[in-house]
């Protein structure tokens, strides 16, 4: 603890300097500082929570963070009492498909500015500070919204991903990806993405159960090499262990899913040990039908009714009825779900980097933006061997890191002021990440009641569509 005070003072001075650049009056500078005090603070770096914490926010930035009493609070600072609450960093979802889902609808006609803005607000409502659109962008809207930084979650995009022709993403998203057959084409398309400053490159290496051609190894090698020349990382949609091994040898940076065809082996662990920055997402949310034997309790939570129509919740609930049109496929999915959980647990035990990515907005992720992010963490912590703290770190610091969002993911001096105030402690029960009291993104209190009222009015105005 000793030394905390000195650091705090320096940070406060730093904040005053930064703010003072535009508002020289000292009293104004102090008036803009707010102290949040009394909460249990989980900073997102995996360390033990700080009980009875205090942290400062000036404009969109965090100031000093520590135990109340150890943090120097500037005179005149506004105070927010968070006694009895728990604070965690805002979440990051590193695998999302934006723009196709709108209520019960699913198609490219929904890829509109209005729908994208609404989806960013839906993530914000759930305390998600940033998302990565994984390879299914249409046109330049994603890049425009990234530059504009509208209210809601930050928009990061992999632009258009890569598959063989007509063999990339699923369902109505299929035509969004580049279909490539030659290395020269692949490199030219990577250069196009680099010119747009794509935040990641996404490739699909999956034969969709023998129905399409898998992206060829010479093509993904060309994509990875060209992307790395432009300092862009590449993440792969995968299913099979053998593909993961070859992608690792080809220099891949991370995986959009977990290996689901069989249990991992020592050869894979050795390959991963040599590449410690490689990450895995698990998309447990996307595979939820295969993971629950009966209706999950969270279907009854009020949070769902605040953000989704009765019809949407009813349809979501029906997924867990156990009635399947194709029992054989359902059985295969259940088996793959168990392999996913075992492999996640084994990689976690081996210290491999696990991030949070849900596939929300896609074929199986559906329109449950934000909810999926929280359920992903619950599944990690209740079914896949992670502790609640490890799940929180995966959904905050780790996911922020893989998106290169250094300002997000932890609650520390100098970071962006993005955090969730919870009514209960998620270390006791990871489901408590959904007991949301307030959400702050970039220092702003997200107007959750107003968003809720807007959505409720839409449900009433267009019953059946939402
Ligand atoms: Zn996906």
Q: Give tens-digit pLDDT for 176-213.
A: 999 999 999 999 999 999 999 999 999 999 999 999 99
Distance from Cα 411 to the centre of ligand 1, integer Å: 29
Tokens of 268: 């894979």
* Average pLDDT value for residue range 150-177: 97
Distance from Cα 365 to the centre of ligand 1, integer Å: 8
Distance from Cα 259 to the centre of ligand 1, integer Å: 14
Q: 466 falls in which pLDDT band (50, 70, 90)?
A: low
Q: What is the pLDDT of residue 394?
A: 98
Q: What is the pLDDT of residue 461?
A: 87
Distance from Cα 404 to the centre of ligand 1, integer Å: 19
Q: Give tens-digit pLDDT for 16-30.
A: 333 333 333 333 344
Q: Concatenated DSSP letters for 158-207?
A: --B-EESTT-SS-GGGGGGSEE--SHHHHHHHHHHHHHTT-S-EEEE---
Q: What is the pLDDT of residue 259?
A: 98
H or E stretch covering 42: none
Tokens of 435: 């007991």
Distance from Cα 327 to the centre of ligand 1, integer Å: 24
SS (H, E, C) 254-323: EECCCCCCCCCCHHHHHHHHCCCCCEECCCCCCCHHHHCCCCCHHHHCHHHHHHCCHHHHHHHHHCCCCC
Return the DSSP state at 214: P
Distance from Cα 3 to the centre of ligand 1, integer Å: 45
Q: What is the pLDDT of residue 324?
A: 80
Q: Give tens-digit pLDDT for 218-275.
A: 999 999 999 999 999 999 999 999 999 999 999 999 999 999 999 999 999 999 999 9
Distance from Cα 95 to the centre of ligand 1, integer Å: 6
Distance from Cα 368 to the centre of ligand 1, integer Å: 14
Q: What is the pLDDT of residue 322?
A: 82
- Cβ neighbors of 440 (< 8 A, separation 6 or more) are 57, 90, 417, 418, 419, 420, 421, 446
The answer to which of 53-62, 177-186, 327-336, 343-352 has the lowest mean pLDDT is 327-336
Tokens of 56: 């400062």
Q: Give tens-digit pLDDT for 400-450.
A: 999 999 999 999 999 999 999 999 999 999 999 999 999 999 999 999 999
* pLDDT at residue 69 is higher than 60: yes
Sort 130 into a burial class: Cβ within 10 Å, 0-12 / 13-18 / 19+: buried
Distance from Cα 360 to the centre of ligand 1, integer Å: 8
Q: How far apart are the first and last CA of the chain?
A: 52
Angle between helix 241-249 and 266-273 (nearest 10)? 30
The answer to which of 239-248, 281-290, 326-335 has the lowest mean pLDDT is 326-335
Find out whether 44 and 409 touch, Cβ atoms under 8 Å: yes
Tell me the pLDDT of the chain averaged across its residues. 93
Q: What is the pLDDT of residue 198?
A: 98
In a 3-state reduction of DSSP, which class is residue 457? helix
Distance from Cα 256 to the centre of ligand 1, integer Å: 7
* pLDDT at residue 13 is higher than 60: no
Find out whether 56 and 33 touch, Cβ atoms under 8 Å: yes
Tokens of 432: 């408590």
Q: 302 falls in which pLDDT band (50, 70, 90)?
A: very high
Distance from Cα 257 to the centre of ligand 1, integer Å: 8
């Amino acid at each position: 603890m000793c030394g905390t005070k000195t650091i705090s003072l320096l940070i406060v001075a730093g904040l005053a300097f930064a703010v003072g650049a535009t508002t020289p009056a000292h009293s104004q500078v102090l008036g803009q500082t707010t102290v949040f005090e009394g909460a249990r603070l989980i900073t997102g770096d995996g360390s033990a929570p700080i009980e009875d914490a205090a942290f400062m926010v000036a404009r969109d930035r965090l100031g000093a963070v520590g135990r109340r009493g150890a943090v120097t609070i500037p005179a005149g600072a506004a105070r927010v009492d968070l006694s009895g609450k728990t604070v965690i960093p805002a979440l990051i979802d590193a695998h999302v498909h934006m723009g196709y889902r709108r209520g019960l609808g699913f198609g490219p006609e929904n890829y509109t500015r209005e729908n994208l803005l609404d989806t960013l607000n839906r993530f914000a409502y759930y305390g998600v500070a940033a998302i990565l659109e994984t390879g299914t962008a249409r046109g330049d809207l994603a890049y425009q919204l990234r530059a504009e930084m509208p209210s809601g979650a930050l928009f990061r995009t992999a632009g258009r991903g890569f598959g063989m022709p007509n063999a990339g993403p699923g369902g109505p998203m299929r035509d969004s990806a580049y279909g490539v057959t030659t290395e020269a084409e692949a490199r030219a398309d990577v250069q196009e993405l680099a010119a747009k400053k794509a935040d990641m490159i996404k490739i699909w290496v999956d034969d969709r159960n023998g129905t399409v051609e898998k992206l060829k190894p010479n093509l993904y090698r060309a994509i990875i090499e060209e992307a790395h020349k432009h300092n862009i990382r590449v993440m792969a949609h995968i299913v099979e262990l053998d593909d993961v091994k070859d992608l690792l040898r080809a220099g891949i940076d991370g995986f959009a899913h977990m290996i689901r065809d069989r249990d991992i082996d020592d050869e894979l662990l050795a390959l991963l040990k040599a590449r410690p920055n490689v990450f895995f997402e698990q998309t447990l949310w996307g595979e939820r039908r295969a993971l629950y034997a009966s209706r999950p309790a969270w279907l009854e939570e009020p949070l769902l009714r605040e953000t989704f129509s009765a019809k949407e919740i009813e349809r979501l609930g029906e997924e867990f009825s156990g009635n399947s049109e194709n029992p054989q496929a359902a059985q295969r999915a259940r088996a793959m779900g168990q392999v996913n959980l075992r492999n996640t647990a084994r990689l976690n035990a081996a210290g491999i980097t696990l991030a949070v990515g849900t596939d929300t907005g896609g074929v199986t992720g559906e329109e449950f933006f934000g909810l999926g992010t929280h359920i992903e963490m619950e599944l990690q912590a209740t079914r896949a061997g992670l502790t609640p703290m490890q799940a929180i770190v995966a959904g905050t610091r780790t996911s922020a890191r893989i998106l290169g969002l250094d300002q997000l993911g932890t609650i520390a001096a100098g970071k962006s002021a993005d955090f969730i105030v919870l009514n209960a402690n998620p270390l006791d029960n990871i489901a408590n990440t959904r007991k949301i009291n307030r959400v702050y993104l970039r220092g702003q209190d997200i107007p959750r009641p107003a968003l809720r009222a807007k959505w409720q009015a839409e449900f009433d105005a267009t019953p059946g569509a939402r």
